[in-house]
């Protein structure tokens, strides 16, 4: 069906919904906007759905949330005891998050599937924990993570607490075409409660989650000792981290935690930031101002669903943010060094990171006799490794991280955990302050001196709309058809094409063992690499550049040269 025909159908089908009709009437003279809203259905993939709020098949709204939930319910009804095990549901501070969460719960109830709905906003890691804690078949979080305010999303989880695996995603997508808006209706809330299909959950689960995070404290004695003097400025960026992060700080003994007042309360408009993303320096402007005034040791910020964490410090030369790779390496080194010192580092220790994260992590792991395992981008792949370790006993999980500011050191949660990470960051800051009277900004420089100067740079090419999708596909096809032989005068040593599962090095070809993915990875002479990857959740192509050398200046020179060459190449395509 053509976009304009679908547009008219929506006006007719949802004529009783004044808000939807008003939204659609507002674009009646904008054919390009109508095309963008109706040229396709919002995709449900491995990370669920994410999109701009609004009416239309390619927008996130009540009707698309209900429909995908009905398809999820149909799939659950094919699994043993799935309906009785039920689905846990959480949501963050974004516009419509609470509405979408309740609608999803009541659609499940109407299909005979139990729903466990949080009584107020909660972070992603709490939902992941809850699935395992309550032994649910699945989970849903309504969030668009760190995206701008006009977005929201629907993240789906499976029974292990990790993001939904491909076979379960297929179980839903196979049923979506046959699932109509008309059948995807919610049960009345009072009826759902009376029938025992809807249960609201709260404090008991929160207490169990915090207890599980506390067990992951590496050096609790140090935290209590240094918690009296260490000063931390924290910002939840108007999101769901405020209560659990402050609670974990308090419970491990951090007595001097100061929350940025302008960013403390939930607000879906995120009025104090351009984007609520701890990767963005602008998100820390108010926190750094507060840090300077208080003389605090560091600033910590979490995104709206509290699965990502950023760090900033005011230095003599001005504010300095640490990137995701730097934070990951500091935490990895802290965990392994402290475990070794305390005689608690197992012989089969393993850490997990992604193919686009820094090689410095492998160097740190190797120095402690810890195996480093690389997986594709996406924390569900780290969760898969944790599951493999548990089922085979081959390794003991120590830490997992992504360069995109996601960290985890335990196994009760199977996704990025900002609360867990904030606790470890506070402990690491306490350790560096006690041992060296240094901050975490100093800490990364100390690690560079020990392991080499690793650097990384990420560039995103945003390509929205139908045209953008076609451009992304064309760029990847062009790179495969004619791969570059060098970047900025440095030869490409090998090409990894994760879509064909081949690593090509001259005449030699070897099979890659990771799952197929639309990713191209160029290994350069000298240890640098460049990776090109279309985002799985946003309309963008991401370009990753990594380099290493014996000095900070040389690494920065290499990074700039390789990045400029790669950007120029992609722009030409």
Could you tell me the two tokens for 421? 């990470």
**Active-site residue set:** 145
- The dihedral region occupied by 511, where left means phi > 0, alpha psi between -120 and 50, and beta the remainder, is beta
Instruction: Name the pairing type of β-strands 406-408 and 371-375.
Output: unpaired
The H or E element spanning position 165 is: none
Task: Tell me the C-alpha distance between 542 and 535, whole Å.
Answer: 7
Which of 145, 143, 146, 164 lies closest to 87, judged by CA? 164
Task: Tell me the C-alpha distance between 31 and 54, whole Å.
Answer: 16
* Farthest-apart Cα atoms in the chain, separation: 71
Show Cβ contacts of residue 3 under 8 Å, excluding neighbours closer than 6 positions: 34, 35, 37, 38, 39
Task: Tell me the C-alpha distance between 558 and 257, whole Å.
Answer: 39
CA 182 vs CA 17, 63, 382, 516: distances in Å: 14, 9, 38, 37
Can you list the positions of beta strands (E) in 190-324? 198-201, 231-235, 256-259, 298-302, 309-315, 318-322
Task: Tell me the C-alpha distance between 351 and 349, whole Å.
Answer: 7
Instruction: Name the pairing type of β-strands 490-497 and 486-487.
Output: antiparallel
Task: Tell me the C-alpha distance between 321 and 199, whole Å.
Answer: 42
Instruction: Name the pairing type of β-strands 298-302 and 231-235.
Output: parallel
Dump the DSSP string for 59-88.
Answer: SB-HHHHHHHHHHHHHHHTTSTTHHHH-EE
Nearest-5° Cα angle at 115, 113 to 118: 170
Q: Are 496 and 489 in contact (CB under 8 A)?
A: no
């Amino acid at each position: 069906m053509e976009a304009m025909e679908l547009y008219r159908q929506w006006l007719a089908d949802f004529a009783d919904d004044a808000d939807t009709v008003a939204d659609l009437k507002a674009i009646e003279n904008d054919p390009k906007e109508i095309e963008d809203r109706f040229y396709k259905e919002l995709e449900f993939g491995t990370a669920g759905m994410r999109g701009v709020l609004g009416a239309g098949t390619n927008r996130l709204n009540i009707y698309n949330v209900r429909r995908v939930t009905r398809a999820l319910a149909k799939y659950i009804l094919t699994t043993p005891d799935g309906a009785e095990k039920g689905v846990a549901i959480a949501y963050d501070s974004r516009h419509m998050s609470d509405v979408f969460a309740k609608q999803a719960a009541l659609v499940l109830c109407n299909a005979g599937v139990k729903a466990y709905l949080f009584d107020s906003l909660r972070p992603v890691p709490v939902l992941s924990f809850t699935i395992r804690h309550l032994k649910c078949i699945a989970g849903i979080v309504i969030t668009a993570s760190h995206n701008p305010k006009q977005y929201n999303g629907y993240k789906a989880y499976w029974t292990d607490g990790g993001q939904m695996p491909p076979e379960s995603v297929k179980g839903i997508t196979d049923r979506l075409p046959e699932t109509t808006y008309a059948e995807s209706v919610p049960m009345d809330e009072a009826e759902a409660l009376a029938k025992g299909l809807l249960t609201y959950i709260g404090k008991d689960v929160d207490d169990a989650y915090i207890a599980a995070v506390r067990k992951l404290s590496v050096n609790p004695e140090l935290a209590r000792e240094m918690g009296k003097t260490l000063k931390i400025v924290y910002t939840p960026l108007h999101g769901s981290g405020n209560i659990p992060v402050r609670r974990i700080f308090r419970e491990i003994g951090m007595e001097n935690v100061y929350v940025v007042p302008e960013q403390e309360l939930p607000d879906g408009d995120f009025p104090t930031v351009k984007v609520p993303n701890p990767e963005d320096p602008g998100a820390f402007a108010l926190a750094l101002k507060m840090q300077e005034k208080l003389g605090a040791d560091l600033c910590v910020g979490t995104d709206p669903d509290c699965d990502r964490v950023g760090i900033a410090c005011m230095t003599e030369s001005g504010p300095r943010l640490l990137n995701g790779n730097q934070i990951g390496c500091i935490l990895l080194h802290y965990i392994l060094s402290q475990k070794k010192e305390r005689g608690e580092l197992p012989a089969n220790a393993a850490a997990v990171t992604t193919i686009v994260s820094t090689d410095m992590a492998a160097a740190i792991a190797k120095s402690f006799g810890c195996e480093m395992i690389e997986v594709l981008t996406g924390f569900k792949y780290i969760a898969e490794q944790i599951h493999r370790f548990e089922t085979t006993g081959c390794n003991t999980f120590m830490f997992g991280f992504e360069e995109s500011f996601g960290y985890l050191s335990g196994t009760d949660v199977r996704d990025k955990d900002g609360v867990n990470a904030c606790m470890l960051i506070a402990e690491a800051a306490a350790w560096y302050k006690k041992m060296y009277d240094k901050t975490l900004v100093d800490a990364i420089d100390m690690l560079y001196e020990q392991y080499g100067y690793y650097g990384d740079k990420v560039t995103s090419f945003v390509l929205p709309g139908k045209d953008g999708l076609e451009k992304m596909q064309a760029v990847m096809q062009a790179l495969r058809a004619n791969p570059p032989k060098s970047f900025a005068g440095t030869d490409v040593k090998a090409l990894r094409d994760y879509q064909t599962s081949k690593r090509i090095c001259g005449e030699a070809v070897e099979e890659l063992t990771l799952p197929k993915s639309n990713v191209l990875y160029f290994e350069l002479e000298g240890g640098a690499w460049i990776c090109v990857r279309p985002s799985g959740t946003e309309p963008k192509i991401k370009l990753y550049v990594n380099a290493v050398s014996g000095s900070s200046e040389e690494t920065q020179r290499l990074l700039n040269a390789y990045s400029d060459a790669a950007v120029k190449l992609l722009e030409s395509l």
